Amino acid sequence: MDDKLLRATADGDLEKVKALIDKGADPNASDEYGYTPLILAASEGRVELVKELLARGANVNVCSSSRWTPLLWASSMGHAELVELLLKHNADTEAADQYGATSLMKACRRGHLAVVKLLVSHKANLNAVDDYGWTPLMRASRRGYVQVAETLIEHGADLEAKDQYGATALIIGVSESHMELTRLLLDKGAQINATDRNGWTALKWAMSMGNKQMIKLLESYGAK
């Protein structure tokens, strides 16, 4: 019966899910990968199914074998309404996947601004670090998500945190040629002459790529 519940959840069949649980199916049953009905529903953004499963006792902080929780899935996929629902049921904002990535990191990586704002409002750790030394701001900087980065900075994200290679958010943004993002970081006070593990500054990265516009921008802010 538990297998039927997992299939019904994957199919998004709310009425069948209700009926199976009424007959004794376990709302916390899992498949070989550790996926429970709640994880499956969250990954597909099925709000009503999630509501039903939570009401029937599903564990909001359950994780799969790869340590993905319902909140991690909802945040990664940009399901803002679902993220808000899970947070109201005390979902753990600091739960991390097998690489140390939190829900805030997932949302920042994909530019889901509404989700980022929700997580920030629920005190998600702005300066959490994954297994590679990456913070939420670094993830936003790599993709050039200006509004996401601005939200993080306004709430206290560390501009000078460094990843495993010594790169700051500014160096990462410059290396990806994100002009607007670079301007934002500089306007917010990022150290323009910070160096990575190899002694490279943001300017040296821009010069190595022959990015004349970026070089001009950095020099206008005093890069050396």
Burial classification of residue 93, based on how many CB atoms lie within 10 Å of its CB (0-12 exposed, 13-18 middle, 19 or more buried) = buried
Inform me whether the pLDDT recorded for 1 exceeds 80: no
What's the pLDDT tens digit per position in 179-222?
Answer: 999 999 999 999 999 999 999 999 999 999 999 999 999 999 99
Nearest to residue 138, comparing CAs of 187, 113, 96, 104? 104
pTM listed for this prediction: 0.95
Q: What is the pLDDT of residue 2?
A: 84
Query: In whole angstroms, what separates CA 203 from the centre of its chain?
Result: 28
Range of the structural domain that residue 144 is part of: 126-224
> In this structure, are 145 and 92 located in the same domain?
no
Please state the domain count of the chain. 2
CA distances from 207 to 10, 37, 174, 181 (A): 50, 51, 10, 18
- Non-local (6+) Cβ contacts of 19 within 8 A are none
What's the pLDDT tens digit per position in 108-121?
Answer: 999 999 999 999 99
What's the pLDDT tens digit per position in 145-155?
Answer: 999 999 999 99
Using pLDDT thresholds of 50, 70 and 90, give the confidence band for residue 6: confident
Final residue belonging to a domain, choices 101, 116, 137: 101
What's the pLDDT tens digit per position in 14-73?
Answer: 999 999 999 999 999 999 899 999 999 999 999 999 999 999 999 999 999 999 999 999
> In this structure, are 19 and 95 located in the same domain?
yes
Provide the CATH number for the domain around residue 70. 1.25.40.20
Q: What are the residues facing 96 on neighbouring strands?
A: 102
Q: What are 130's two structure tokens? A: 């994954």
What's the pLDDT tens digit per position in 77-110?
Answer: 999 999 999 999 999 999 999 999 999 999 999 9
Nearest to residue 130, comparing CAs of 196, 72, 59, 57? 72
Residue 2 lies in a domain: yes
